[in-house]
Amino acid sequence: MDMFNVTEIRQNASKIISHVIKTKEPVMVLQRSKPVVYIIEANAFEELQKKVMKAEQYEKMEATKKALNQLSRLRSQMKLQPDSTPLIRQLREGDGENE
């Protein structure tokens, strides 16, 4: 990955953007020797955004599955217990499971 400082970007913006488009490789922009920005091709950015959205959807689906499994487990426990007080106490205090 190529790196340029802010001054080089100001002086050669067109060349650097052309380089990014031609090579399809991001460029790191440094300010006071620290990375502050990446310049990436628009298509690459859009693909990254799509992947992030898919990952977020997957995480939501997994959280939903977990919640539904816990709900199913609780429902089965409720059917087995004649008195729901122990189950409510267990839910309030936590049952020690980290699912």
Domain ranges, ordered by start, for the chain: 2-40, 44-93
Confidence of residue 28 (pLDDT cuts 50, 70, 90): very high
For the domain spanning 2-40, the CATH number is 3.40.1620
Contact 50, 26 (CB under 8 A): no
- Spatial separation of the C-alpha atoms in residues 25 and 10, rounded to whole Å: 19
- Spatial separation of the C-alpha atoms in residues 37 and 11, rounded to whole Å: 17
Confidence of residue 99 (pLDDT cuts 50, 70, 90): very low
The alpha carbons of the chain give a radius of gyration, in whole angstroms, of 26
User: In the chain, how many H helices and how many E strands?
Assistant: 3, 3
What pLDDT was estimated at residue 66? 92
Each residue's pLDDT tens digit, 33-49: 999 999 999 999 999 99
- Spatial separation of the C-alpha atoms in residues 17 and 24, rounded to whole Å: 10
Each residue's pLDDT tens digit, 39-94: 999 999 999 999 999 999 999 999 999 999 988 888 877 766 567 777 788 888 87
